[in-house]
Amino acid sequence: MSAEATNPEAHPEARPELRRRGRSRLDLRRLGRAALLGPTSRDRLPDAIGHVAEAHRAHHPDADMSILRRAYLLAESSHRGQMRKSGEPYITHPLAVTLILAELGAETTTLTASLLHDTVEDTDVTLDQVRAEFGDEVRFIVDGVTKVEKIDYGAAAEPETFRKMLVATGNDVRVMSIKLADRLHNMRTLGVMRPEKQARIAKVTRDVLIPLAERLGVQALKTELEDLVFAILHPEEYESTRALIAAHAGESDPLPGIADSVRTVLREAGIAAEVQVRPRHFVSVHRISRTRGELRGSDFGRILILVGENADCYAVLGELHTCFTPVVSEFKDFIASPKFNLYQSLHTAVATPEGYVAEVIVRTRQMHRVAEAGVVALGNPYATATPDATADPDEERVDPTRPGWLSRLLDWQQSAPDPDTFWTVLRAELAQDREITVFRADGGTLGLPAGASCIDAAYAQHGEAAHGCIGARVNGRLTSLSSPLSDGDTVQLLLAQDASSGPAAEWLDHARTPAARIAISSWLDAHPDRAMATTTAARAPLSVVGARGGGANAVADLPDATVRLAGCCTPVPPDAVAGFLVRGGAVTVHRVQCAAVAQMRAVGRTSVAVHWRATADCRVTLLAESFGRPHLLADLTEAIAREGVEVVSATVEPPVEGRVRHTYTLQLPDAAGLPALMRAMRDVPGVYDVSRA
């Protein structure tokens, strides 16, 4: 089933006026009649399932077909006498769903469960019977699909419906694969329902099931569902797009000629490759027509190049960019950086001498299989798990193919306070079409949606403990929590030791993940007074001046001169210092490394020799930079007092992006205690840097 080529013309049941090109579709009515004839002889498969077996053997030549035969016979006998609304025998539905999955390359266990997916719900067959006949794996999948089918799909129940669906399907992605194939067949035969019901089902399919198909990487299902939904919800735009494609069909198509040129280039380069022209599906044509305006012949499809090895992909890319004019802005490398849904390919575009621009996709055959079928192409994703005979089959499984978004959905759906909130954040989460990976300071990784901030990373790593996050280091540099993260960043999150710390209301402006937004909103709702306190307006700088002035402890070799320590570098013993005579006969003392020393000499200031007194006390100005939090000034002052240091003056600047700068002028009884004082100030929760002015 082709991702790019699939379009509503492939679904005569959905739109009778349309006909499929190429391989003829199966006649479901004929399959129904074959099903009613009952089982055939034991030495061959029933005719009705022969098409499924043929598609299955194409992907799995050594598969045991006897299991499918037994599953079909049980399904056929159980559903005998039941009819669909379209008039076909009901058995045609599980057959069609199973055929969809077989064409995608699903393994035998998934196909067996697909044949039986409605038996427990609609017939007298029990889960115990399924386990006895087909084993625990098939029973587990059928049970998951049954739980989904039992959900009320009424319009008012949609939010809770999909919460339950995620829980039911999250433990095994094969359950979700069957559900998607089930919805695809139902969408193909939706024409027998009332228009308002068609629209409701199409909207749910658009909002949740299509994004789920994208997340699972099942592009073949996703694109066909998109076109079917497009035809129902936007009939006028669909008809105009159909007319546009029909008009193009009567024109000369430049893509086959470009494909021939590409074949020649690759053949001369000695690269074995298969070159295809892949027509765009309806929604894709509609999208590019809105962005590009009038379409040219090369816009109605793309060139697909299939090779054997990863290295061949880059060899093909080099030949294309050498022999054609590349459109640099269109190049994307999804092999080195795969998309979140397992997708890998090289994307580029080249211009021909005739002025056409052709989009080109380069991938290996294995990449192509995964691009079309996603997780379905991976077979049984749990086959490598260590078997445990004592394990409860209903317990949650660790899915090795989906370590990111699916586990996050299962986690935050438990925290959603109500179905409406769940529905809103689910749609927002599924709307994210790209994922990034960031590295934690301890060596672990976090999977986050593109555009996520340090706030999202904090809640992904620490859960509710992230309420006390006061800052972050990204790639070793301090940054605000609102800073967005990029793929490959290393993030170290700084947590306050104060258990009463909480998030600020403005965090919601920078949180992208549902887990972060739900946790922040819940905390703010539970602490309305604290929430108000975090949104107060910025104040003017706060200054505190001590009662005692304190004198300088530097001596100048100039009788009766007033000596001042420079505020730009605040020298203290035993710093090497230099003095300069300034207006009024005063001598200013700088550290010799201070930039002002060179300036003084450049303007011809008189140099005066200075030295330190024998006394050890000194005055120094320190800058403390911190993340804003309640009681921070009090805690810093207390830390200074514990070191036996007197505060001469203090200035606190207004917060900027949650960060605060404190300037302290301090009188130390002994200059040797300065390093210990600075360490004590850095140890105050929230303070990330202390330096001399």
**Pairing of β 357-364 and β 301-307:** parallel
Residue 122 a catalytic site member = yes
Do 73 and 46 meet the contact criterion of CB atoms below 8 Å apart?
yes
More confident call, 96 vs 19: 96
Long-range contacts of 330-339 (CB under 8 A, 24+ apart): 330/359, 335/310, 335/363, 335/367, 337/487, 339/434, 339/435
| pLDDT given at position 433 | 60
| pLDDT given at position 9 | 43
DSSP 401: T
More confident call, 670 vs 179: 179
What's the mean pLDDT in 219-227?
92
In this structure, of 384-393, 473-482, 557-566, the range with the lowest mean pLDDT score is 384-393
Residues 6 or more apart whose CB falls under 8 angstroms from that of 663 comprise 621, 622, 623, 624, 650, 651, 652, 653, 693
Quick check: 427 pLDDT over 70? no
Residue 260 a catalytic site member = no
Where do the DSSP E strands lie in 174-308? 274-279, 301-307
Residues 6 or more apart whose CB falls under 8 angstroms from that of 66 comprise none
The pLDDT tens digits for 58-82 are: 999 998 888 999 999 999 898 888 8
For the entire predicted model, the pTM comes to: 0.64
**From 4, 17, 88, 121, active-site residue:** 121
**From 47, 122, 149, 653, active-site residue:** 122
Predicted confidence band of residue 425 (pLDDT cuts 50, 70, 90): low
The pLDDT tens digits for 242-295 are: 988 888 877 788 999 999 999 999 999 999 999 999 999 999 998 888 888 788
Q: Where are the alpha helices (DSSP H) in 341-418?
A: 365-373, 405-413
What are φ and ψ of residue 471, in 5° steps? Answer: 170, 180
Q: Which amino acid belongs to residue 257?
A: G
Quick check: 12 pLDDT over 60? no
Quick check: 528 pLDDT over 80? no
| pLDDT given at position 166 | 66
| pLDDT given at position 405 | 59
Which of 364, 365, 357, 361 shows the shortest CA–CA distance to 333? 361
Quick check: 456 pLDDT over 80? yes
Per-range mean pLDDT, top range of 274-278, 631-635, 688-692: 274-278
